[in-house]
Amino acid sequence: MVQGTGSNVGKSTLVAGLCRAFVRRGLSVRPFKPQNMSNNAAVTADGGEIGRAQAVQARAARVPASVHMNPVLLKPETDTGAQVIVHGRRIGTLRARDFGSRKGELLPAVLDSFARVADGADLVLVEGAGSPAEINLRAGDIANMGFAEAADVPVVLAGDIDRGGVIASLVGTHAVLEPAERARIAAFLVNKFRGDPRLFDGGVRAVAERTGWPCLGVVPWFPAAAFLPAEDALDLDRAAAGRGKLRIAVPVIARIANFDDLDPLGMEAGVELVFVRPGEALPGNADLVILPGSKSTVGDLAFLRAQGWDVDLLAHRRRGGRILGLCGGYQMLGRTIADPDGIEGPAGTVAGLGLLQVDTVLGGDKITGPAAGIHLSTGAEITGYEIHLGRTDGPDRARPVLRLDDGREDGAASADGQVAGCYVHGLFASDAFRRAFLDGFGAASGLAYEARVEEALDALADHVEAHLDLDRMLAIARER
């Protein structure tokens, strides 16, 4: 199990690299994360939801993603509450304090999934969440030491040197853990080093002397991680490296979800992808504004208005600019959003942006599953996935955006073609569609997206092979 001294120390990326490195050695490898918290979800072949990181790790291990690779997924809807997904299915919404008191009840489901993932595997690489040093959360823990103890797995602790204080974070973790938990940590590693790793030799010795843990290595910064789907919204800007002729603006709403939809666009040399932060105006010279997915459509619509982005969108359209809404962004573009059951807050109906003649009613069963079909205006094939609550209908649905292979039509477009939206995520990962879409703006596509992701995973495997003692790590796993 790879645990970290904190969030965003690189656990997800390390596990992905280790999955690919060990599978290239001929081992049957599976990723596992007992509990994840992310609004960037992936959909498995059977329609279940898991964290995006576990889907990437499964790809790195060259196996299909399974709901059992991430049995508990928390999708924050507010600062104090989250939707709870167990074995891929929504079981409800809990306030943080309520989940804290009930999370131990989910341990049997977590251990059942772990047994299923481990069955037939040579190696299971488990990713922790946050930090085991958060001892205020230790009671009923299923994410870090609580799981490691229940499943009896050894732990490797990762520290992030890029944020500073890595010696204190590693030694401090040792200081606050119980003796049995300290003993469960078999080794440590240091991640995200910039420069010559040998310059940290003294730091390695300092940590080893104070903890008794051996070091598996110091891993340098890995720039190509930007080509892998991100799980944390903190990583959004890494996808915005292009400086091409087509300028696409994306307002960063509070509960932005499934934002890896945008990754392929950010990798295109002909595209400048601009993430607009709260307090900033939408750029007046944007060609296209994309409203991304949201975990809380009604709340994020209010957030969008509070930034003045609704006014900016109207001005953008008057200038002839185009607007595309994805999932929650699609719902916001309509006339109204009704929440009769109070799924996202107080029951009621709110006015949408009115840029599409459609209305949305939240409720019913959550729709999740793979999707494939045709983009109607270009004829390009698309693949992706659905993950949403609610139904959308109205006059502009007479101009659908997609025709899916199961016969359904998805999305809506305005009569002038400037505004459109749909529910399917992952559209831009399809090279043929992305090429046709960008051609409509006079921008060329030179990216083979899936090949780029595979290249990044192989390069990541080379990277961890070069800088970590994988033989020792494998020996640690074999001890139990």
- Distance between alpha carbon 7 and the CA centroid of its chain, in Å? 14
> Token match 């299971």: residue?
124
Active-site amino acid positions: 327, 425
Question: Torsion-angle region of residue 293: left (phi > 0), alpha (psi -120 to 50) or beta?
Answer: beta
87 Cβ partners below 8 Å, 6+ apart?
A: 48, 67, 68, 71, 109, 113
Cα–Cα distance measured from residue 157 to residue 187, given in angstroms and rounded to the nearest whole number: 6
Cα–Cα distance measured from residue 365 to residue 343, given in angstroms and rounded to the nearest whole number: 12
